[in-house]
Amino acid sequence: MIAASVIGNALEWFDFIVYALLAGTISKLFFPSDDPMTSILLGFATFGIAFVARPIGGIVFGLYADRHGRKKALGLIFVMMAVATGMVAFLPTYAAIGIAAPALLLICRMLQGFSAGGEFGSATAVLIEFAPRGSKGFFGSLQMCSQALAVVAAAVFVFLLSRNLSPADFESWGWRMPFLAGAIVGPIGFYFRTRLSETPEFERAVKAEASAASVPLPAMIKRHRVELLAAIGLFAAVTGPNYVNTVYMPSIAIARHGVAQSDAMLAVLAVALVMAVLIPVFGWLADKVSRVNLAISGMAGTAVMYSVLFPFYMAAPSATSFLWLQLGYAAAYAALVGASCTLAIEHFPVLARATGGATGYNIATMVFGGMCPFWLALLDKAGGTYAPMIYIVVTMGIGIFGAVLLGRQSEGSARRAQIGGG
């Protein structure tokens, strides 16, 4: 059950992180320019525009999962993600077909974004609905743990390729290999998901109140607007820093600060390993203490840690200072992530959980995550070198607002939320 639930989220993040780590190469091949920073900006813009499709996919697949079951939705989502990832591996570059190359790349990213939009809400609903009593925090944290493991896989893959291939071979065909590997995982993931059983909570919900399955989206949003607003706030704090540190900072460290690509990959790998260990620990802790308080502590710690370490890095950019920046951030951020996933989604009733969770997550990801590398790169080009630190502090404030909203409702009543209740 756990493997079937998290494998899609892992593939989603493998794809996104591979694209992010290869942003410099992809930008050069698909958006050639005399100014390297302009190429990176165009590459980040393509990365970010794909996130526009995420809320649409989240709503479409969320409604489907809440009406027809988690199992059917997750199988369809995984096939679409694997196909979109594999298509990138075979795209001709700008040198081969001109302007059609970036257009095709954009289509692939939009398809990936649409399918990935439905993944988080449905898969997380499965995890917390299958979780034993008193373990929802731990099980929900496994979704975010899978993201960290996907970052490990992506960083290792790109690191090995960059270390063992010449620059010419890497640009010619090496960069395609991670995307091809992601597509090959497709049949394996689909097999796991076809063997996934429907969650007992969902089956009970359908039997108890079948009419709730046909509640229109506007009614769901109106009925659960506080939960939705809180989820957007919490996921703003989760997604914003994540994209700053796993997408933007490695690319800028390589392109502008003289950090070698292999050193940047090692830093990303080290951070992902730390988070893969710490996130489930904090997820377990979130079942023992207040999830709201743990999330707020993680957000405050992340803001403080980044405010201290980012100026230290900018004063003397190097592989070592970059590693310290990443590790310090990860230690505090893991507490936030370990508590927030379950906290944001468990407050929705069963028959609105996949839709509500996906909508909140994808709106936050689109607004605060996907486009932030582009805006930060634009600000960096204009001289706003401290923009990443300010951005993270602001998103932590938004996240604390979301946690406080949920804190006004007792966690006990949230766990006892009944089908169709508000």
User: Concatenated DSSP letters for 73-119?
Assistant: HHHHHHHHHHHHHHHHHT---HHHHTTHHHHHHHHHHHHHHHHHHTH
Q: To which residue do tokens 């805006």 refer?
A: 375
Q: What is the pLDDT of residue 225?
A: 83
Q: What is the pLDDT of residue 419?
A: 45
Q: What is the pLDDT of residue 414?
A: 45
**120 Cα distance to chain centroid:** 8
Lowest mean pLDDT among 19-28, 234-243, 324-333: 19-28
Q: How many CB atoms lie within 10 A of CB 297?
A: 18
The structure tokens listed for 158 are 């790109």
CA distance 236 to 243: 11
Q: What is the pLDDT of residue 418?
A: 44
Phi, psi for residue 260 in degrees, rounded to 5:
-65, 145
User: For the chain, give me the number of helices (H) and strands (E)?
Assistant: 22, 0
The structure tokens listed for 224 are 């659960």
CA distance 422 to 342: 18
Greatest mean pLDDT range, 79-88, 116-125, 253-262, 284-293? 284-293
* 223 Cβ contact partners less than 8 Å away, ≥ 6 residues apart: 215, 352, 422
Which comes out higher in pLDDT, residue 170 or 46? 170
Q: Residue count of the chain, please give it.
A: 422
Lowest mean pLDDT among 64-78, 113-127, 214-228: 214-228
With cut-offs at 50, 70 and 90, classify the pLDDT of residue 392: very high
Tell me how many degrees the CA angle 388-342-69 measures, rounded to the nearest 5.
115
With cut-offs at 50, 70 and 90, classify the pLDDT of residue 306: very high
Q: What is the pLDDT of residue 334?
A: 94
DSSP string across 301-319:
HHHHHHHHHHHHHHHS--H
Residue 215 has pLDDT above 60, yes or no: no
When pLDDT is averaged across residues 394-408 and rounded to a whole number, the result is 90
Q: What distance, in Å, lies between the first and last C-alpha atoms of the chain?
A: 29
Domains of the chain by start residue, with CATH: 2-415 (1.20.1250.20)
Q: Which helix (H) or strand (E) holds 38?
A: helix 36-49
Tell me the average pLDDT of the chain.
82
C-alpha dihedral, 384 to 385 to 389 to 391, nearest 10°: 30
Residue 422 has pLDDT above 50, yes or no: no
Q: What is the pLDDT of residue 417?
A: 46
Task: Kindly report, residue by residue over 137-170, the tens digit of the pLDDT.
Answer: 898 888 888 888 888 888 888 888 888 889 899 9
Residue 92 has pLDDT above 90, yes or no: yes
With cut-offs at 50, 70 and 90, classify the pLDDT of residue 214: very low
Residue 399 has pLDDT above 80, yes or no: yes
Percent of the chain with pLDDT over 70: 89
CA distance 415 to 131: 12
Residue 295 has pLDDT above 80, yes or no: yes
With cut-offs at 50, 70 and 90, classify the pLDDT of residue 82: confident
* 257 Cβ contact partners less than 8 Å away, ≥ 6 residues apart: 317, 322
Judge contact between 233 and 18, C-beta under 8 A. Answer: no
Residue 372 has pLDDT above 60, yes or no: yes
* 242 Cβ contact partners less than 8 Å away, ≥ 6 residues apart: 147, 333, 369
Residue 212 has pLDDT above 50, yes or no: no
The structure tokens listed for 420 are 């169709």
Tell me how many degrees the CA angle 127-132-135 measures, rounded to the nearest 5.
75
Judge contact between 224 and 422, C-beta under 8 A. Answer: yes
